[in-house]
């Protein structure tokens, strides 16, 4: 049995005999690799390439979470989610990107930022890495509201008590993976080591290196 002290993810890179990109869109693409298996054979792996994402769990002083609802065409549902966006500027600081998304999607700002959790959204099918921030000490942003477009034109917003979000997640009523992960992670932090145990907002992120400024 593996020693509990070794329970952490580690970098590893199996040999690739051939690699191609049969499709490349504006932001994401599809890559095909022929990967050497432990038995000496090669297996084909197709996966989505992705620049990475950030998301924000914004918690107000009444322990309510800011959530958004918008249409997601691949699953044909209008989902409740957290503010989120792509890291589509190479080398962009993820904290700055998260602050921008909170402003654009909710016209909100926060004085305190921590890293709540880092995760791969679907590591068997995409290399997308997501950093989820906890934002507290909230206030309305200054200036004009961001001009939305596309699906964002019909975004709805709400502030939901954290306990109610957790209940809805466990009842199978909420399905966005970032919202599910964020609600459960924040609940675990608050009932466990506390928010002071979370990492600072500018903590290095090996999955998506960035300049700290």
pLDDT tens sequence across 125-139: 999 999 999 999 999
Contacting residues for 167 by C-beta, under 8 A, at least 6 apart: none
Identify the DSSP state of 111. E
Beta pairing class for 53-58 and 77-81: unpaired
How confident is residue 146, by pLDDT bands cut at 50, 70 and 90?
A: low
How confident is residue 143, by pLDDT bands cut at 50, 70 and 90?
A: confident
Q: How far apart are CA 197 and CA 41, in angstroms?
A: 44
Residue positions annotated with a catalytic role:
152
């Amino acid at each position: 049995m593996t020693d509990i002290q070794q329970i952490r993810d580690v970098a590893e890179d199996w040999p690739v005999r051939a690699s191609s990109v049969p499709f490349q869109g504006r932001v994401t693409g599809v890559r095909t690799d022929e990967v050497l298996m432990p038995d000496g054979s090669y297996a084909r792996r197709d996966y989505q390439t992705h620049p990475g994402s950030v998301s924000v769990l914004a918690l107000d002083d009444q322990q309510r979470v800011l959530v958004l609802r918008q249409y997601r065409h691949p699953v044909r549902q209008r989902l409740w989610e957290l503010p989120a966006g792509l890291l589509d500027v190479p080398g962009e600081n993820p904290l700055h990107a998260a602050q921008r998304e909170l402003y654009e999607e909710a016209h909100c700002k926060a004085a305190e930022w921590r890293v709540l959790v880092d995760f791969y959204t679907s590591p068997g099918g995409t290399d997308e890495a997501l950093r989820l921030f906890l934002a507290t000490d909230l206030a309305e942003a200054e200036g004009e509201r961001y001009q939305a477009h596309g699906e964002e034109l019909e975004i709805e917003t709400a502030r939901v008590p954290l306990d109610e979000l957790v209940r809805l997640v466990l009842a199978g009523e909420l399905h966005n993976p970032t919202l599910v992960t964020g609600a459960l992670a924040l609940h675990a932090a608050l009932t466990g080591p506390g928010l002071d145990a979370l990492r600072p907002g500018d903590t290095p992120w090996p999955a998506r290196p960035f300049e700290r400024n």
